[in-house]
Amino acid sequence: MLENSRYNEVLDLKKWEVLSATVSGYIRSALPVGSNAVNRYFGLSYSPATIRNIMSDLEELGYLTHPHTSAGRVPTEKGFRYFVDHSDFKKRAASSEWKAISRVIEPLLSGASVADLKEVLSDIVIQVSRTAGYAVFVMETRTQDEARVVSIEAVPISGRHVLVIVIFETGQLLKKTIAYPEGIRWGEFRKIIGKLNRIGRFRTLSSIREDLLIEMEGLSLAYAILLREFETLGKTPDFKLYGASQFAKIPEFSKVTDLKSVFEVFEEQMSLFAVLKKMVEPRGVSVAIGSENQVPGLDVCTVISIPLTRSGAWFGTIGVVGPVRMEYAQVIPLMTYLSDRLNEWLSGRESKD
Amino acid sequence: MLENSRYNEVLDLKKWEVLSATVSGYIRSALPVGSNAVNRYFGLSYSPATIRNIMSDLEELGYLTHPHTSAGRVPTEKGFRYFVDHSDFKKRAASSEWKAISRVIEPLLSGASVADLKEVLSDIVIQVSRTAGYAVFVMETRTQDEARVVSIEAVPISGRHVLVIVIFETGQLLKKTIAYPEGIRWGEFRKIIGKLNRIGRFRTLSSIREDLLIEMEGLSLAYAILLREFETLGKTPDFKLYGASQFAKIPEFSKVTDLKSVFEVFEEQMSLFAVLKKMVEPRGVSVAIGSENQVPGLDVCTVISIPLTRSGAWFGTIGVVGPVRMEYAQVIPLMTYLSDRLNEWLSGRESKD
DNA sequence: TTTAGCACTCCATATTGTTGAGTGCTAAAT
DNA sequence: ATTTAGCACTCAACAATATGGAGTGCTAAA
């Protein structure tokens, strides 16, 4: 069972069996599930009539709904949530089926250096999308506050602009063109950069920032400008969505207008950013079902996401996006594996190979 | 008229009027256009019966088709091509409507440095997508063969990896992690980088490559490795598509399966790359209608694209993607303006401000 | 050469009928 | 006290059938 059971209500065995069967059936078929189907395809020992009674109870409790009088049952978000919280997905994690992902992910990780993070994440996300059959996004803040700086370079570009490059131990780069006012000369700027390098080598950007505030007081206007730039250095998140075409398979999005609203959410990335940041807390796999995603247009989707962390600090998220009727039993183990493997790689336990 | 008239066949005035009206009508409505509609809404002085006769001729010539006996006419690709080649879009280019784009583009370009190329292109493409109402992609090869090098830096990362960074005059960066074999030491590597810097400052990467071949013969294995890496440095094209949600508006893609094939093309970027490279020749705006796009899944789309060049060398493409039934009269002037403005900016005629 | 008139075609839409999966209830069975 | 069979009822989905109208092609007159 996953850790976060949001409902203290606990269903008895019979109810759980029926709910589980209904949810599973609905995930497979995308069609309302009737009492007969539950009885036949899931081998429950209760008759259809009994199952009807139980389903009726589950409906009253809010786990199932009725599209119309003579249709089968469809799980509510609450139903999906209960299903996700009370299924033991680890059991199935051993199945050969999802092991396929490791055959695909391992070669991407084993040779690679963390310096190529971006490319590696791209490749991984494409593979995950293919394997899982859903769209997958990767979002990466470029705040490298916790990575150690190797060198800071400055290159004059035009009469008024300097390109500042911060090179991190991890091989990542941060660049920023800075406009400096007329009064300040290139020579002065270079002196500051030199000092920064002496101070900053093998320290984190955030600790350099602190020191700058203390040590270099009143050095000059140039310094003030530089410092201000450092505040915002590389805060723009980088966002990519892969496998959007996968949505076409999904009956929920058979109307183009439904698809549209989802795509719009991904084009409006900033709103996503805020939400994803909030979802970090439960270390490991987060599942946000339907309206649990606080993003307006995304309430028809489930997002299964894992945080990217380095030295304990969050710097990005990978997420699988699909319908609420998602193949949780496939995707959750997959993402669990990916989370473990990726964070192991990020923490550099492999840099010796 | 655009330069490339691909059909030597020339229609007489009457036929042109009817064709033009039919195409325009179809672009507006997405519905087959009947003889009445052409007569009424386009104020042609011929009666519906006459127009029917002309349409019948145009059909025989291959410019129009008939979905079924009692339906109006729909332009063929040949019809669209003739329309595009023989319309004078510059006339309409003065309309206040599309001038809006300059109000949006100018602020993005005027302050910006070429160092922020990527961000600027991103912003532009988003704005173009919003203004034009179609999806827009930007593709950028990272081959900076013609930009001059300011500095080459090397930073050791792990026992076996070096991060090489090439900094260009334009503020662009190229980075590559290079694995070097056991036999070679960091010190040796550093010497090579030092030499490279002395040789390379303010020269283009391609000319450095040539010199390396001559001057540094037999220097060592390390050099051989480095050289090989330089061959492929930054050849991976960078590709992004914005405004995919715009497709939802378009009746042609009202079936999700139709959308799917288009999205798949954009996920499979390499095939696009080859095609876009071929489309550079006609400097300025290229229009590829339907199957003129040599990409299999893209034959239901028109792509209107402009090349990105620096010092005459192509390094990328921006393209508007929409249905064959695209608003050519809006998009072509827009892209013409953008092409002019962008290449002016890229050639650095503004670096003085 | 252009145009009015007219019969004809065929898609789109609405109407109606039929089917069957599924429910809820009641009463019997365990 | 549960479970189950039996049965009437509901309602979406599908198919079959009308109806309307936009648009054509042809013919004959202007």
Instruction: Report, as an integer, the average pLDDT of B93-113.
Output: 78
* A contacts of B136 (beta carbons < 8 Å): none
User: At residue A222, does pLDDT exceed 70?
Assistant: no
Q: Is the CB of A56 under 7 A from strand D?
A: no
DSSP element (H, E) containing B137: strand B135-140
Q: What is the pLDDT of residues A78-100, one digit of tens each?
A: 999 999 999 988 765 556 666 77
Confidence label for B353 from pLDDT (cuts 50, 70 and 90)? very low
pLDDT for B172: 77
Confidence label for A190 from pLDDT (cuts 50, 70 and 90)? confident
User: At residue A6, does pLDDT exceed 70?
Assistant: no
Cα distance from N-terminal residue to C-terminal residue, chain A:
36
CB contact under 8 A, B352 and A159: yes
The CA–C1' separation of A52 and D10, in angstroms, is: 16
**Could you give the CA distance from residue B7 to residue B13 in angstroms, rounded to a whole number?**
16
pLDDT for A206: 74
Q: Is the CB of A118 under 7 A from strand C?
A: no
Q: Is the CB of B290 under 7 A from strand D?
A: no
DSSP element (H, E) containing B56: helix B48-61
Helix (H, G, I), strand (E, B) or coil at B281: coil
Measured between CA atoms, the residue of chain A closest to residue B258 is A248
Q: Is the CB of A77 under 7 A from strand C?
A: no
Instruction: Report, as an integer, the average pLDDT of B155-167.
Output: 77
For A169-173, B77-81, B137-141, B262-266, which range has the lowest pLDDT when averaged over its residues?
A169-173
Q: Of all nucleotides in the shown strands, which has a C1' nearest the CA of B45?
A: C2
Strand ranges in A87-148 using DSSP code E only, listed in sequence order = 135-140
Confidence label for B5 from pLDDT (cuts 50, 70 and 90)? very low
Of the two residues A238 and A180, the one the predictor is more confident about is: A238
User: At residue A224, does pLDDT exceed 70?
Assistant: no
Instruction: Report, as an integer, the average pLDDT of B176-197.
Output: 76
CB contact under 8 A, B243 and A267: yes
DSSP state of B5: -
Confidence label for B164 from pLDDT (cuts 50, 70 and 90)? confident
Instruction: Name residue, tokens 């001057």.
Output: B215
Q: Is the CB of A53 under 7 A from strand D?
A: yes
Q: Is the CB of A52 under 7 A from strand C?
A: yes
For A283-287, B110-114, B119-123, which range has the lowest pLDDT when averaged over its residues?
B110-114
CB contact under 8 A, A257 and B248: yes
The CA–C1' separation of B34 and D22, in angstroms, is: 8
User: At residue A5, does pLDDT exceed 50?
Assistant: no
Instruction: Name residue, tokens 């508007």.
Output: B320
The tokens describing B213, both together, are 């071949």
DSSP state of B3: S
Of the two residues A44 and A78, the one the predictor is more confident about is: A78
The tokens describing B225, both together, are 């490795």
Sheet (strand A149-156) strand order: A149-156, A161-168, A173-179
Q: Contact B29/B46 with Cβ under 8 angstroms?
A: no
Q: Contact B286/B302 with Cβ under 8 angstroms?
A: no
Q: Which of residues 20-59 of B touch strand D (CB under 7 A)?
A: 32-37, 48-49, 52, 55-56, 59
Q: Is the CB of B352 under 7 A from strand C?
A: no
Q: What is the pLDDT of residues B266-315, one digit of tens each?
A: 988 877 887 787 776 656 899 999 999 988 889 999 999 999 987 777 88
* A contacts of B254 (beta carbons < 8 Å): 256
pLDDT for A278: 76
Q: What is the pLDDT of residues A102-133, one digit of tens each?
A: 889 999 998 777 778 888 999 999 999 999 99
Residues 6+ apart with CB under 8 A from B68: none
The tokens describing A165, both together, are 């490059």
* B contacts of A114 (beta carbons < 8 Å): 157
CB contact under 8 A, A171 and B163: yes
User: At residue B168, does pLDDT exceed 70?
Assistant: yes
Q: Is the CB of A42 under 7 A from strand D?
A: no
Q: What is the pLDDT of residues A225-266, one digit of tens each?
A: 666 666 666 556 788 899 999 999 999 998 888 899 999 999
Q: Is the CB of A95 under 7 A from strand C?
A: no
pLDDT for B35: 95
Q: Contact B243/A267 with Cβ under 8 angstroms?
A: yes
Task: Show which positions of strand D are touched by protein (CB under 7 A).
Answer: 3-6, 9-12, 21-27
Instruction: Report, as an integer, the average pLDDT of A341-348.
Output: 86
CB contact under 8 A, B165 and A167: yes
Mean pLDDT, chain B, whole residue set: 83
Residues of A with CB under 8 A from a CB of B: 113-116, 150-151, 153, 155, 157-159, 161, 163, 165, 167, 169-171, 173, 175, 177, 236, 242-245, 247-249, 253-257, 259-260, 263-264, 267, 351-352
Percent over 90 (pLDDT), chain A: 44
Q: Contact A335/A326 with Cβ under 8 angstroms?
A: no
Q: Is the CB of A59 under 7 A from strand C?
A: yes
Task: Show which positions of strand C are touched by protein (CB under 7 A).
Answer: 2-5, 8-11, 20-26
Of the two residues B185 and A317, the one the predictor is more confident about is: A317
User: At residue B67, does pLDDT exceed 80?
Assistant: yes
Of the two residues B204 and A245, the one the predictor is more confident about is: A245
CB contact under 8 A, A158 and B243: no
User: At residue A213, does pLDDT exceed 60?
Assistant: yes
Q: Of all nucleotides in the shown strands, which has a C1' nearest the CA of B38?
A: D23
Q: Contact B82/B67 with Cβ under 8 angstroms?
A: no
Q: Contact A74/A33 with Cβ under 8 angstroms?
A: yes
Interface test with B, best of A176, A259, A266 (most B CBs within 10 A): A259
Helix (H, G, I), strand (E, B) or coil at B93: coil
Residues in chain B: 353
CB contact under 8 A, A163 and B115: yes
Q: What is the pLDDT of residues B16-53, one digit of tens each?
A: 999 999 999 999 999 999 999 999 888 888 999 999 99
Instruction: Report, as an integer, the average pLDDT of B223-241.
Output: 69
CB contact under 8 A, B255 and A255: no
d(CA A165, nearest CA chain B) in Å: 9
Q: Which of A259, A186, A40 is nearest to B247 (CA)?
A: A259
Q: Contact A30/A325 with Cβ under 8 angstroms?
A: yes
User: At residue B123, does pLDDT exceed 70?
Assistant: yes
The CA–C1' separation of A67 and D12, in angstroms, is: 10
Q: What is the pLDDT of residues A286-339, one digit of tens each?
A: 999 999 998 888 999 999 999 998 777 788 899 999 999 999 999 999 999 999
Q: Give the Å distances, CA to CA, from B290 to A250, B18, B25, B119, B242.
A: 27, 22, 19, 31, 20
Q: Of all nucleotides in the shown strands, which has a C1' nearest the CA of A38?
A: C22
CB contact under 8 A, A256 and B248: yes
**Could you give the CA distance from residue B350 to residue B266 in angstroms, rounded to a whole number?**
34
Of the two residues A196 and A64, the one the predictor is more confident about is: A64
